[in-house]
Amino acid sequence: MIEVKHLTKTYGNHHALKDISFKITNGKIYGLLGPNGAGKSTTMNIMTGCLAATAGTVKINGFDIYKDATEAKRLIGYLPEQPPLYEDMTPEEYLTFVAEAKGVDPERVARQVKEVMEQTSVTEMKDRLIRNLSKGCRQRVGIAQALLGSPEIIILDEPTVGLDPKQLVEIREMVRKLGKKHTVIISSHILAEVSEMCDELLVISGGELIAQGELSELEAMLGDTDTLHLVIRGDEAGVLEVLYGIVQKENCTLRSATKEGEVSVDVSIPRESDVRDRIFFAMADRRYAVLTMEIEHKSLENVFLALTDRTADSIEPEQPESEEEELET
């Protein structure tokens, strides 16, 4: 179990993390979700002992990541955002080095390296120099490295960035398999990815933990209403009079119409009720033409955007690193 308490990290005047606390229980796949520069990598670097926090503690199964660093680090396998690979080595040499450095029993090194290579499909490229491997293969070698020493917890920082669709599917499949044996924490700014792979989400934005829970719990945070977009041709007063006869006035938001003689309205409606028929026939009775009538279901993307928008103003780059991809939601 990982227990993060009041984690704060500052770079000069910039607060990369602001008093973050959460618990990770064993046996699940966790997704650390947030826009670029939200503090995901900083959180992971602190959790793995690569970076010291300005304040706060991280405990891995009760071992403090700084005070009992050796014991705590034995429980973690970490793949940073940039796979830490020695390009002048072959995957087999590299993994043997990592296994030895992690203190794997010398008699078991060869067997364990073979196992993780099979697990991550690295075996067929084990004798090629790492510098000649594709990005996807390097990522797999990076994951293999994290698996050595049989750690309970695997932490993967944006493992799918820059991969082609086929490699993406492979890595996602691998993460799912890992989740059966290990506690896995992956970070991503791609919502679809974490929602597909993870059991539970931690949403970080602007250095703050703004939500934690299962997907359904996060969706419930938005309430149970949908939005009905309407564009109706007719005089505004008449159209609204008809509309207010069917739905309550406070649920309607008048938007500026794109053309003269058209009325554009957003209506907030309960998810279980469908008032589209009534609106259509009522408008038709008064000879108002319904040009657009569309229901927008609130989805996880809305949850993500709504949560991150709250802190968007305070988002700044977390570290001087190149995170160039656009927010893909």
Residues that bind other proteins (CB under 8 A): 11, 45, 48-52, 69-71, 73-74, 76, 78, 80, 82-89, 93, 97-98, 100-103, 145, 149
* CA-based nearest residue to 131, from 160, 106, 94, 80: 94
DSSP 301: H
Q: How far is the CB of 120 from other proteins (least distance, A)?
A: 16
Return the C-alpha torsion angle 204, 209, 212, 215, nearest 10.
-20
Between 70 and 258, name the residue whose CB sits nearer to other proteins. 70
Residue 16 zone, left/alpha/beta (φ > 0; ψ -120 to 50; rest): alpha
CA nearest neighbour of 227 among 259, 263, 264, 280: 264
Cα distance from N-terminal residue to C-terminal residue, the chain: 30
Residue 311 structure tokens: 């802190």
State the minimum distance, in angstroms, from the CB of residue 22 to other proteins.
Answer: 20
Measured from the CB atom, the residue of 90 and 160 that comes closer to other proteins is 90
Tokens matching residue 260: 């003269």
Place of tokens 């829970």: 213
List helix spans (H) across 76-163: 91-101, 106-119, 135-147
| Nearest-approach distance from CB 327 to other proteins, in angstroms | 24
Would you say 125 or 146 has its CB closer to other proteins?
A: 146
In angstroms, the CA 306 to CA 300 distance is: 10
Which residue, 137 or 303, is less far from other proteins as judged by CB? 137
Shortest separation between residue 70's beta carbon and other proteins, angstroms: 5
Nearer to other proteins, 58 or 247 (CB): 58
Taking the least distance from each CB to other proteins, the nearer of 82 and 302 is 82
> Nearest 5 degrees, angle CA 221-CA 226-CA 229?
145
Beta-sheet pairing, 262-270 with 225-233? antiparallel
To the nearest whole angstrom, how small is the minimum distance from the Cβ of residue 62 to other proteins?
16
CB of 307 to other proteins, least distance (A): 29
Closer of 52 and 254 to other proteins (Cβ) = 52
- Taking a C-beta distance cutoff of 8 angstroms, is the pair 53, 130 a contact? no
**Least distance (Å) between residue 72 CB and other proteins:** 8
Q: How far is the CB of 250 from other proteins (least distance, A)?
A: 52
Q: How far from the centroid of its chain's Cα atoms is residue 203's Cα?
A: 7
89 versus 306: smaller Cβ distance to other proteins: 89
CA neighbor of 195 nearest in space, from 215, 210, 175: 215
